[in-house]
Chains A and B, each alone.
Chain A
Amino acid sequence: MLDRPDLIYRYDGSFEGLMCCVYESFYKREMPLSIISREEAQQSLFEAREIVTDNAKAARVMKAVKEKISGEAMRLVYRAYLTDLRDREVHILRFLVLGFKCGAKVLKMLTDDRVAILYKAVTRLGNEAELLRGFVRFSDFGGGLVATIEPKNNVLPLLKHHFMSRYPGGSFIIYDKTHRLALVVYKGQSRIVQSDDFVPPSPEMDELRYRAMWKRFYNTIAVEGRENPKCRMSHMPKRYWAHLTEMQEISDSGRLAGDDKAALKSVQEKRGKIKTRAVNFDCQELV
């Protein structure tokens, strides 16, 4: 395989698109310097070869990975694609080159940098998804649940199954602000869609009441005399706090006061508006 430090592939950012880059690389027997999504390409000065996404080609690559390496390798590659690893596309390509050479045992070559780097990134992805299974905070808007997250990794595909099982037949939206993606589940049907500006509606009174109760519970349950900010921080890193109800400065009275009263008033004034916004939960806008 020929090293081509002068060559960059540009693809549409989808997983299928990435598989087509792999196809191109093997077909032309060349190793590009990097593979970038169209979005990144706008900021890049270099010329890039456009790789067109072709689902049939992508399917052939995936089949080959499964047959010549293993299903487990396919899973690793897909997960690596979801991580925030820098230049993950080229790392995936390098791994596959090695994999097609060595076969299934590539997954055991844990001390080879080409393998270790993917495992490490995928472990971080898994850890973040595990954390977010707990840290997602929904607000209830008349039966539809809405949450916003800001993860480093693209975790929505890993959260989907868990939350669909948690709310069987339910409707909810988890919006990933970092990747501008929304997991939209409506009556048990799910989709992940691109959404650039998602704004949840304002909370109603019941919602504010439960938030206040949760915050009160949170503050009450800690044992004084055992305060341990470092331990808390390492389990619940600060970057998640922005979307954690219990870490917000909301009134803790349980009865509405000050800000909450104002919020409630604005909710009541905008009642008509909320009704139309609520269409969101029928997914008209996003799906």
Chain B
Amino acid sequence: MDTIDKLTILAAAAKYDVACTSSGVDRKGQKGGIGNASSAGICHSFAADGRCITLLKVLLSNSCVYDCCYCVNRRSNDIRRATFEPRELAELTIQFYKRNYIEGLFLSSAVIRNPDYTCEQMIKLLEILRNEYRFGGYIHAKAIPGADERLIRKLGLLTDRMSVNIELPSQESLKLLAPDKNKESILGPMALISQNIAESRELKRYKSAPQFAPAGQSTQIIVGATPETDYQILNLSAALYKKYGLKRVFFSAYMPVVEHKNLPALTSKPPLLREHRLYQADWLMRFYKFNASELLDEKNPNFNPYVDPKCSWALSHLDSFPVDVNTAPYEMLLRVPGIGLTSAERIIEARRVGPLNFDGLRKLGVALKRAQYFILCSGRAVEGLKMSHESILRGLLSDRSMRLMDGTMGEQLSLFDDTFVTREDVLKCLTGQI
């Protein structure tokens, strides 16, 4: 089989993995080698689905001996199979990298023969890249559950980031849909990786030992294949961040690719808006210092489709507002709808040289349309502002959501238009969200 045919099959098989980041490490190019890494990550292209392409995302093989029923690669599925030679994929990676198509490689694989053998093949490939080509670009590898500890360790020393995908948000769902896997087989390797990362950080302080996945560990949770609520998913991800020190938790709206009695019908649409809301919430938890319990609770276990989680929080905490931008602490500014990380910082900078007014705020990049209901400038509100619940809601809703609410549009997909795409969204894309 030609390389291009293998590439087609094995890229198609990898595309549902949404962890598209190349972020988290800074590394200068080494003489005699090729490649560097920049911690912000770099998007090299955007696919027709609007997602960032940063890594050559492929499986080493899709010939799986397992039979997870939500997966296209499962043994019982009748599809074309392909397997890269380690050298073949290494060469392809270098050629793409040289042309600046990619930041590096995202390597995953179905289970060929057995987990150990699969892991060994991956190691072989990465050794060619790192040692022969002296490749300094980004490498993300998925750990193969069930592989020997020693092999996982070896793999980790060759990569920048490792991941084990949780996929299904609860034990029951796992049992139902992935009979070959269980909680232990997923959390086991996760714990092993997080332990190795911690040890390697410790060692690093004493000598320049090779580092184990310096850009940390991530995972992916499928949304909408099983009945868990947003609240359950958010709590699970909060626990993963805490317990395993994960760098990122990715959410992937379930795409029905398989007909199965335990799965949503093939005709059901992927819950893209729900995925988007979970990312927004994740963003709020990681950068805006929100707790999972502030965003959702058992009584309100799912996100509001019409307003984003930050607006939603502000609406239910109107008694904490308005805040005066000339005196409010940074943490409080961050909670104002329409004030982002950058504009909050700019406010702090600019108010040092003189009091701010609304015109000045606009120049600093504050979205006054939303923020005006929640702020004062030196004790004064925007002139003529109507403070009814109705008018606030109108101010917070994007035009698109408004029409959606009026029932003129039923299509979830079209929610993701430019009213949603902000500078932050681009950043999220860079770091793998959306």
The residues of A with any CB-CB pair to B shorter than 8 Å are 105, 108-111, 113, 116, 130, 133-140, 145, 147, 162, 164-170, 209-210, 212-214, 216-223, 225-232, 234-236, 244-246, 254-255
Contacts and interface: CB of A to CB of B under 8 A. Distances in A.
Contacts of B53: 218, 221
Interface centre among A113, A145, A226, A234 (most CB of B within 10 A): A226
Nearest to A120: B363
Contacts of A219: 48
Contacts of B54: 134
A222 B47 contact: yes
B273 interface: no
- The 10 closest A-B CB pairs, nearest first, are A231-B50, A254-B4, A111-B360, A168-B29, A228-B50, A222-B47, A222-B48, A226-B49, A110-B350, A134-B44
B272 A168 contact: no
Nearest to B362: A111
B57 A225 contact: no
A165 B15 CA distance: 30
Contacts of B11: 217, 220-221
Contact of B29 (A167, A221, A227): A167
Contacts of B434: 231
A228 B100 contact: no
Given A110-B364, A111-B360, A138 B47 contact: no
Given A134-B43, A168-B33, A235-B43, A214 B50 contact: no
B323 interface: no
Interface in B95-128: 95-96, 98-101
A72 B96 CA distance: 37
Given A137-B99, A216-B8, A166 B353 contact: no
B29 A165 contact: yes
Contacts of A164: 29
Interface in B280-312: none
A244 B407 CA distance: 39
Contacts of B413: 226-228
Given A168-B30, A235-B426, A227 B2 contact: no
Contact of B2 (A145, A221, A254): A254
Interface stretch (B34-42, B153-161, B187-195, B238-246): B34-42
Given A213-B7, A235-B429, A168 B34 contact: yes
B427 to A, nearest CB: 10
A218 B45 contact: yes
A244 B45 contact: yes
Given A168-B31, A221-B11, A147 B46 contact: no
B92 A135 contact: no
Given A116-B363, A167-B29, A223-B15, A216 B48 contact: no
Contacts of A235: 43, 46, 50, 52, 421, 426, 429
A134 B104 CA distance: 12
B12 interface: yes
Contacts of B5: 254
19 contacts: A109-B350, A110-B363, A133-B42, A134-B42, A145-B98, A166-B35, A168-B33, A212-B4, A216-B8, A223-B51, A225-B269, A226-B50, A228-B48, A228-B413, A228-B416, A235-B46, A235-B429, A246-B101, A255-B2
B417 interface: yes
Contacts of A236: 45-46
A109 B2 CA distance: 60
Say whether chain A's binding surface is mostly helix, strand, loop, or mixed: helix
B110 to A, nearest CB: 17
B96 A210 contact: yes
Give the most central of B31, B44, B100, B360: most A CB within 10 Å: B100
Contact of B417 (A134, A170, A221, A230): A230
Interface string B322-343: 0000000000000000000000
Contacts of A212: 4
Contact of B270 (A210, A214, A226, A230): A226
Contacts of B4: 209, 212-213, 216, 254
Query: In this complex, which of A130, A169, A228 has the most chain B Cβ atoms within 10 angstroms of its Cβ?
Result: A228
B346 interface: yes
A134 B92 CA distance: 18
B353 A229 contact: no
B32 interface: yes
Contacts of A130: 42
A165 B47 CA distance: 27
Contact of B49 (A108, A168, A222, A234): A222
Contacts of A232: 46-50
A216 B92 CA distance: 13
B166 interface: no
A110 B360 CA distance: 8
A227 B34 contact: no
B45 to A, nearest CB: 6
Contact of B47 (A110, A167, A218): A218
B56 interface: yes
A214 B426 contact: no
B3 interface: yes
A134 B54 CA distance: 8
A226 B359 CA distance: 39
A246 B36 contact: no
Contacts of A167: 29, 34, 98
B409 to A, nearest CB: 14
Given A147-B100, A166-B36, A222 B421 contact: no
Interface in B57-111: 57, 92, 95-96, 98-101
Nearest to B347: A110
A130 B44 CA distance: 10
Given A165-B28, A228-B413, A234-B418, A140 B42 contact: no
A170 B99 CA distance: 13
Nearest to A163: B100
Contacts of B29: 164-168
A111 B35 CA distance: 41
B48 A229 contact: yes
Given A230-B418, A246-B45, 13 more contacts: A111-B360, A111-B364, A134-B45, A214-B101, A217-B56, A218-B53, A220-B11, A226-B50, A231-B417, A232-B50, A235-B50, A235-B426, A236-B46
A192 B84 CA distance: 41
B255 interface: yes
